[in-house]
Chains A and B, each alone.
Chain A
Amino acid sequence: MTIECDQLADLLPEFFDGSLSEDQSDAALDHLANCNTCRLTVDELEGVRNLASEHGRLELPSDAKQRIRRSVGLD
């Protein structure tokens, strides 16, 4: 099974979820091994996901946390 760039693009959500079938996964990896453009794109998309997980989460300031805990009846 061989795939083209646009077919790989369609598979990317499942590729990142790790939910491709074995055949699809093999075809995706085979395509990436031979296509610099797609490999760069996938690396950058992986970078987006890493950036989001490392810098995207916010922490509610502790004063607000205490105030809201009290207001919802937890303290």
Chain B
Amino acid sequence: MHQQHESRLEPGWLFDTFVDGVYTLAYRIVRDRNYAEDVVQETFIKVIGSIGTYRGEGPIAAWIYRIAYRESITVTRRRIEEPLDPTEAMVRADRATKSVEDEVLCGELAGLLDEAIGALSEPVRAAFVLRDIEGLSTAEVASALNVSASAVKMRLARARESLRVQLEEYLT
């Protein structure tokens, strides 16, 4: 049991286990591939750098997603307050064109789902991504977003109803 606990805190294991989930949350919040990659990098720098301070007081997933969510919010605000200089913007646009969102959002249905999720407010979107896409429990989502379980349930109800209305023709 102790050995299993130790291996769960091994940096490589944490990266391999959570990298796609962190990327999913980051992309769904910042809505840009390059910025989402920045969030992934910053998240794992912080996770690996502070793993010694994690005392197992809650699920490791909630702890990692809490860091990732904060990074996503920080990047989103920075995008608004400090637009990229033109050279950096061109470099990023070029990278984005070469591998575009099509690569990650393959298929029409995934694209429609992406639009529908993107139309949700940020707090509602985060709760939906963590609960219904990443499969965290309601308690874990509450811990990751630092809100009450009842707030998570309210946000989930709002998200699911909004998506139900937007995607109705694909659901039956």
Interface residues of A (CB under 8 A from B): 12-14, 17, 40-41, 43-45, 47-49, 51-53, 55-61, 64-65, 68-69, 71-74
Given A44-B171, A59-B20: A64 in contact with B37 (beta carbons within 8 A): yes
Instruction: Enumerate the 10 nearest inter-chain pairs by beta-carbon distance, A residue then B residue, closest first.
Output: A47-B171, A56-B133, A13-B153, A60-B23, A52-B132, A44-B171, A55-B110, A58-B24, A72-B44, A48-B163
Q: Contact: B40 with A68, CB < 8 Å?
A: yes
B59 at the A/B interface (Cβ < 8 Å)?
no
Q: Cβ of A74: which chain B residues have Cβ within 8 Å of it?
A: 11-12, 15, 48
Closest to A19 in B: B138
**Contacts A/B (CB < 8 Å), 25 sampled:** A13-B153, A13-B157, A14-B153, A17-B137, A43-B171, A44-B164, A44-B172, A45-B164, A47-B171, A47-B172, A48-B160, A49-B132, A49-B160, A51-B167, A56-B129, A58-B23, A58-B105, A59-B20, A60-B40, A61-B103, A64-B40, A65-B19, A68-B40, A72-B41, A72-B44
Residue of A nearest to B163 (CB): A48
A residues near B126, Cβ cutoff 8 Å: none
Question: Judging by beta carbons under 8 Å apart, are B133 and A53 in contact?
Answer: yes
In the complex, what distance in Å separates the CA atom of A53 from the CA atom of B158?
17
Main secondary structure, interface of A, reads helix
Interface residue? B128 (CB, 8 A):
yes
Contacting B37 at CB < 8 Å: which of A41, A60, A73? A60
Q: Is the CB of A45 within 8 A of B161?
A: yes
Q: B153 — nearest CB in chain A belongs to which residue?
A: A13
> Is the pair A53, B37 in contact by a Cβ cutoff of 8 Å?
no
Evaluate contact between A12 and B41: CB separation under 8 angstroms: no
User: Is there a chain A Cβ closer than 8 Å to B99's Cβ?
Assistant: yes
Contact across chains for B24 and A48 when beta carbons are under 8 A apart: no
Residue numbers in B under 8 Å from A71 (CB-CB): 41, 45
